[in-house]
Amino acid sequence: MRARDIMTSPVITVRPDCTIKKAAGLLAAHGFTALPVVDDDDRLIGIVTEADLLRDRIPLDPRAHILPGYEPATGAVTTTVGEVMSTPVTAMGPGTDVALLAAALLDAHQRSMPIVEGSKVVGVVTRRDIVATVARDDATVADEVRHRLEIYGGPGRWHVECHDGVVTIGDRFDDETDRHVVSVLAEAVPGVVRANAVAVREEDDR
């Protein structure tokens, strides 16, 4: 499974001069956790996250002014994405294996990863996108595996079952090479945890 299989595309981006209020509105309206930041040539230059937008944007409740030790905030108030975005930003290509992408997100404590071709943003993959593949219904996963295998070798040859994301493929012909190929094809389907192809006898299908 590759990033292109699960990424959100087209992707909403913002410029550095976008206001924090507008960026926050985009996140809230679309349920995103971050927005890629691009320059005037649409090249990726940063990313702005929920945490970036919240930092120093929520004042204390006015009733807190009466508490001992309270000191009012001082200094300039940030107003644009360019002032709070994270840069430089890590990005990956659409062909990146989702297992590697997931590991990168977890290791960096990030919730989303921009997907780029060259320097152009073509999509975003979030932790939620990856979790959604794990949650896919077994019947839906099995149907997609069957469809891919029919494209490869025609209908009726393979018997496909899926339980908790583990796919078992029964091969009517004893061809080790084909069993390897169909296992690889099956494991490219979102929601497949592991695929095993085994030879079956005709009486096993009755």
Non-local (6+) Cβ contacts of 101 within 8 A are 3, 92, 113, 125, 130
Cβ atoms of residues 117 and 95 within 8 Å = no
Among 95, 110, 134, which residue terminates a domain?
134
Same domain, 173 and 80: no
Same domain, 125 and 149: no
Same domain, 22 and 70: yes
Percentage with pLDDT > 90 across the chain: 54
Among 111, 134, 157, which residue terminates a domain?
134
pLDDT attached to residue 206 = 47
Residue 33 sits in a domain whose CATH number is 3.10.580.10
Same domain, 123 and 156: no
Same domain, 88 and 177: no
CA dihedral 172, 175, 181, 187 (to 10 degrees): 50
Same domain, 124 and 157: no
Cβ atoms of residues 94 and 106 within 8 Å = no
Instruction: Quote the CA–CA distance of 7 and 149 in Å, as a whole number.
Output: 23
Residue 196 identity: N
Among 81, 108, 134, which residue terminates a domain?
134
Instruction: Tokens 């005709």: give the residue.
Output: 202
Stretch 35-61: mean pLDDT: 84
For the chain, what is the domain count? 2
Stretch 85-89: mean pLDDT: 89
How far CA 206 is from CA of 157, 161, 175, in Å, comes to: 14, 16, 21
Predicted TM-score (pTM) of this structure: 0.73
Stretch 50-60: mean pLDDT: 75
Residue 160 sits in a domain whose CATH number is 3.30.1340.30
Instruction: Quote the CA–CA distance of 46 and 140 in Å, as a whole number.
Output: 37
Please choose, from the candidates 99, 192, 188, 97, the residue with its C-alpha nearest in 3D space to the C-alpha of residue 137.
Answer: 192
7-16, 19-28, 174-183: lowest mean pLDDT where? Answer: 174-183
- Summary mean pLDDT of the chain: 86
Residue 118: is its pLDDT beyond 90?
no
Same domain, 130 and 189: no
Residue 27's pLDDT band, with cuts at 50, 70 and 90, is very high
Non-local (6+) Cβ contacts of 206 within 8 A are none
Same domain, 79 and 158: no
How far CA 36 is from CA of 58, 139, 152, 182, 190, in Å, comes to: 23, 35, 37, 37, 24
Residue 63's pLDDT band, with cuts at 50, 70 and 90, is low
Residue 82: is its pLDDT beyond 70?
yes
Structural domain boundaries, residue 15: 3-134
